[in-house]
Amino acid sequence: MANAQHATLVRITKYAILLTLTVIILGAWTRLRDAGLGCPDWPTCYGHLTVPSSPEALAKADALYPGQQVVPEKAWPETIHRYFASAIGLLILILATWMVYVRRSVELPWRHGLFLLVLVCTQGAFGALTVTEKLYPPVVTAHLLLGFSTLTVLFVLYLRLSKAFPRTGDDRIRQLRLVVYFAIAVVVLQITLGGWTASNYAATVCTELPICQSGWPALMQWRDAFSLTHVDDFNYEYAPHLGAASKVTIHVAHRLGAFVVVATVLLLVAQLLRHARSARYRIFAGAIAGALVVQVLLGLANVLFQLPLWNAVAHNVWAAVLLQILVALAFSIHQEKHHIRG
């Protein structure tokens, strides 16, 4: 019975991971289609559970939000994103509740489940704030990071429940744990810069490689580019509060961050190949290098083809994939020294 319950929890966690990845894809799709305010209210859409389309529903929407025309092409991506986000919240609630309920009969990391529930609730709150604060960039960026955090915490829970990566006896690899943690921190910082670039509509202001078009150093305005100043009831869509120079600064920061990520991750790959004695860590080195190459190519394509939707979404999602590979490596190295406890 205990084994069956444990196996079911593992399956639920896998489904939750896939659903969270879907939500991240839909979130990127919504943001990149400029549909973040496709519904001006939350949790409803113009006062309805779905996008209003009938004459009566449109009349109600106009009464609630006069002067704001319903645009189905923007309202539907936002609504679909909300549906899937609600589904992942419900699934995590079931997962956490079940783990707490059976914790006496099955050894489980139930505190991990409770933390995950708190995290996804916080993510939902920031999703609401994204709308009510009218795409205020720090809120949008935090919403993105919380989505990535939810995916990561779910993935670690899956690794714990499935007892992944048993010890290999490759003790030398433990020397690299700080390098791995540093690489994860650098990637998270770059994801943050990517979110800041997208939320401030700065993704297309630099059209040349490798940094930006000529004369970019004279345009740097770091204070304005990373200001957290908030104006009540101000619509931040399309970043009207920023000038062109500030947007160039944000984009350049993301480009420079990419160089740091490449250098850091390649250093990690080189150290893995140097110290690894087991096939597992050589495979990790190859997987990390391959994921990095794909992410760099997607970033270059964003510049060369002026941010095509499919490519920009893939660039966002692949950052999550690269992060999960690094997290899996950190977990595996941790297992070389410790056994999992519930």
3-state percent helix, strand, coil for the chain, nearest multiple of 5:
70, 0, 30
Cβ neighbors of 203 (< 8 A, separation 6 or more) are: 197, 251, 302, 307, 312
- Cα separations (Å) of 180 from 173, 271, 316, 319, 323? 11, 10, 21, 16, 11
- Torsion 22-26-31-33 (CA) sign: positive
**In 3D, which of 36, 28, 68, 34 has the Cα closest to residue 52?**
68
**In 3D, which of 191, 118, 190 has the Cα closest to residue 148?**
191
**In 3D, which of 34, 63, 60, 126 has the Cα closest to residue 89?**
126
Listed in order, strand segments (DSSP E) in the chain are none
Cβ neighbors of 259 (< 8 A, separation 6 or more) are: none
Catalytic residue status for 78: yes
H or E stretch covering 94: helix 72-101
- Report the residue count for the chain: 342
DSSP state of 178: H
Hey, is 45 helix, strand or coil?
Answer: strand
- Torsion 303-304-305-309 (CA) sign: negative
**In 3D, which of 18, 133, 29 has the Cα closest to residue 79?**
29
Amino acid, res. 326: L
For every residue of 317-330, DSSP letters joined together read: HHHHHHHHHHHHHH
Q: Which of 73, 78, 133, 208 is catalytic?
A: 78
Q: What amino acid positions are annotated as catalytic residues?
A: 78
